[in-house]
Chain A
Amino acid sequence: MNTFSGNLRRDLEVRRYPILVYAMTPLAALVLQAWLPRILGGFAWFDLPLVVTVYFALVQRIPIQGTLMGAGMGLFEDALTSHAIGVNGIAKTVVGFLASSIGTRIDVENHTIRLALTFLLSLLSSATYVFVYRGLLGINQQWTWFVDIFKAVGSTLIAAALFPALDRLQIRE
C-alpha cells in the first residue's frame, strides 16, 4: 500500500535538475536514436526518446510538462522519418501525459515500478502508433508485434541503466 500511495510530502515532491540536463538529455536521446541504428543495424530495438520522456514525466509529476515533452520528442522523431509528422507525436503525447499522471499517484522512487511502467508505456506507444496509422489515417502498414515486444524490452533495459544515472544529476537541497 505504501508503494502505491506514498506519503504526501513525497507525492508532491518535484525533482529539479540543472538546465543543461533538461536540454542535453533529450537532444542526446534523439541524436543517439538516429545514429545508433547505423552501427547496430537491424538490432536497434529500443526507443531512447521514450525512455527519456517517461523518466522526466515520472519525476516531474506535472502532466502538462509531460504532455508537452512527449509531444516535442514525438514530433522530432517524426520529422526524421519519411512518415507523416504527428504519428509518433500523438503516441508520445499520450505516454508523457500518462507517465506524469501516474507519477502523482505512485511511488516513483521504486526502481522496479519505474521499469515496469517503461515497459508498459513502450507497448502503449507502439499500439498507439499502429492505431493512428491504421485507424485514424487508414494507411495499410504492415506491422509485426514481436519487434515491438523486443523494443519494449530493450527500452526497459536501457532505462535500468539510465534512470539511476539521471537520478544522480538531480539538484539536492
Chain B
Amino acid sequence: MESFFIRYRNLLVLLVILLAQIIGLAVQVRHTGAGRNSLDPGDGAGVRLIRLWADAVVTPPEQAIHSTKLGVEYVWQNYIDLRHTQSENQELKRTIDRLRLEQAELLEDALQGQRLQALAAFQQKYIYKTVAAQAVGSSGSDQSRVFYLDKGSADGLQRDMAVITADGIVGKVRDVFPHSAQVLAINDQTSGAGVILATTRLRGILRGNAIGQPQIVGILADQRIQPGEKVLTAGGDLIFPRGLPVGVVDKTVRDPNPDKDGFIDVIVKPAAHLDQLDEVLVITSTEPRFSEEQQQDLATSEAVKGAEAAAIAEQKKASAIMAERLPGLIDPNLPPEKQPLLETTNPDPVIRPPQALHPDRFTPGGAAPPKAAETPTAEPQSSRESSPESSPAPPAAPKRNPQP
C-alpha cells in the first residue's frame, strides 16, 4: 500500500489539488431558474479573503510602477520636451484672455439656467459627488475585463458605484478593499448596464462580448438603428444615472443564440477609452446638491405648484358639476355612429334644445303644451337623469284646490 502512494504520489497530488479546486468552484456557482449556471455575484467570505490577499500583493507594486511612469512623464513633459514652449505660452495667454470674456457670459447663462431648473422642480439627479481615482492595474486576463483603482473604502468608495470619465461611462465598482477597488468594465461579459438609443428610443442591456466590445444584447431587429446613433444610459439599473454618454452604434449583428431568431446585438463603440484608462471618476453620491438659495427656490416652487394643483383640481370638480347640470351633446339613446357630434352630412348642424317638461309661454316656439308632453316618460334620458337641484325647476302652478 505504501509503495502505491510512493509510486503514484505525483498523480495523487495532482488529483487532490484538482479535486480541491473543483469543489471550490462548485461553491461559487449557483443554479439559475432558466436551467443555466452563473457565478455568484457576491463573493463568499473565503473567496473575498483570497481576493484581498492577491490585491494586497499586486496593487502596491502596480502603484509604484504607475507612480514611476507618471513621474517620468512629468519630468519629460515639463523639463525635457520643451520645444516651442515660448510661442505656445504667448498663444495660450491670448486664448485665456478671450476665454475669460466668454466665461463671464457663460457664467451668467449657467446661473440663470440653474435657477430656472430649480424653479421648474428639476429633480433629476444630475449633480453628483465624485471621487477622482487612478486606474493602476487590471485582471491580466482577456476573459475578465476588470481594472483596479488606487482608491478604496477609506476614500468613500462602495460596491456598485458608477465609474465614469469625461467621455462616458466606464463600469461599476465590483469589489472594494481598504485602499483599492476592483471595477467591472462595461465591456466585460458579466457586466450589465441599462442603455437607451438616443434617436430610436430603444432600450436594452449593455454587456461585453468575447473580444471586449460592448454590445446591446437581445433587442428586436429594427432597421431604424443606424451606425453613429448615440447610446445613453437609461437610468433603470440603479447604478448609472440617466443620460450619461455610453458611445455610438458601430454596427448590428444577428444574435448568435439560435433560439432568438429575429433578435440582434448592437455593437457599440464606447465613448470612453476602455483599454487605456488613466484617471476616472467614481460617483459616490447621486443626491442633488443645490445651494441654499436654490433649495429655498425649490421649496417655494413646490409650494406654488401644490397650490396651483389644488386650484386646478377645484376647477375640474366645478367643471364636472357644471357638465352634469348642462344638457349634453351625447344622446345615450342613440348608437355611437348616429350621435349628433359625429354627424358630418350637415356642415352646419342646428343644435336643438331639449324639450321642456312643462312648456309655458316662455318656452321656445310658444306652442301650447301638448298632453303627451306632460308624460314624464316622453322626455329625453338626459333630462330625466338630472337631479332636482341640478335642473331648473319649472314654475310651480298655483294650487287651486288645496286638500285639507
Query: Which residues from chain A sit less than 8 Å from chain B, CB to CB?
Result: 27, 30-31, 33-39, 41-42, 44-45, 49, 63-64, 67-68, 71, 75-77, 79-90, 93-94, 97, 101, 129, 132, 136-144, 147, 151
Contacts and interface: CB of A to CB of B under 8 A. Distances in A.
Given A85-B24, A142-B209, A42 B275 contact: yes
A74 B169 CA distance: 31
Interface stretch (B60-68, B81-89, B286-294, B345-353): B60-68
B240 interface: no
A139 B28 CA distance: 12
Interface in B4-43: 9-10, 13-14, 17-18, 21-22, 24-25, 28-29, 36-39
Contacts of B37: 137-139
B25 A132 contact: yes
10 contacts: A35-B65, A35-B137, A63-B14, A71-B17, A82-B146, A85-B47, A89-B21, A94-B18, A137-B29, A143-B210
B146 A97 contact: no
Given A34-B62, A97-B14, A101-B10, A141 B189 contact: yes
A84 B212 contact: no
Contact of A136 (B25, B140, B146): B25
Given A67-B10, A84-B28, A144-B211, A77 B140 contact: yes
B210 A147 contact: yes
A76 B37 CA distance: 24
B144 interface: yes
Interface stretch (B49-57, B298-306, B310-318): B49-57
A81 B135 contact: no
A93 B20 CA distance: 12
Nearest to A142: B210
Contacts of B51: 79-80, 85
Q: Most A CB atoms within 10 A — which of B61, B136, B142, B276? A: B142
Contacts of B377: none
B276 A41 contact: yes
A139 B29 contact: yes
B65 A34 contact: no
Given A42-B275, A82-B182, 19 more contacts: A27-B61, A30-B57, A34-B58, A38-B137, A63-B13, A68-B13, A75-B21, A79-B50, A79-B54, A79-B55, A80-B51, A80-B139, A81-B139, A82-B184, A84-B28, A85-B47, A86-B24, A138-B36, A138-B37
Given A34-B62, A80-B139, A142-B189, A67 B36 contact: no
Contact of B13 (A64, A75, A132, A151): A64
A126 to B, nearest CB: 9
Q: From DSSP, what is the main secondary structure of chain B's interface residues?
A: mixed
B65 A83 contact: no
A80 B54 contact: yes
Contact of B17 (A45, A93, A143): A93
B44 to A, nearest CB: 10
Interface string B108-137: 000000000000000000000000000111
A147 B211 contact: yes
B144 A83 contact: yes
Q: Most B CB atoms within 10 A — which of A38, A137, A151? A: A38
Nearest to B183: A82
A67 B14 contact: yes
A78 B177 CA distance: 17
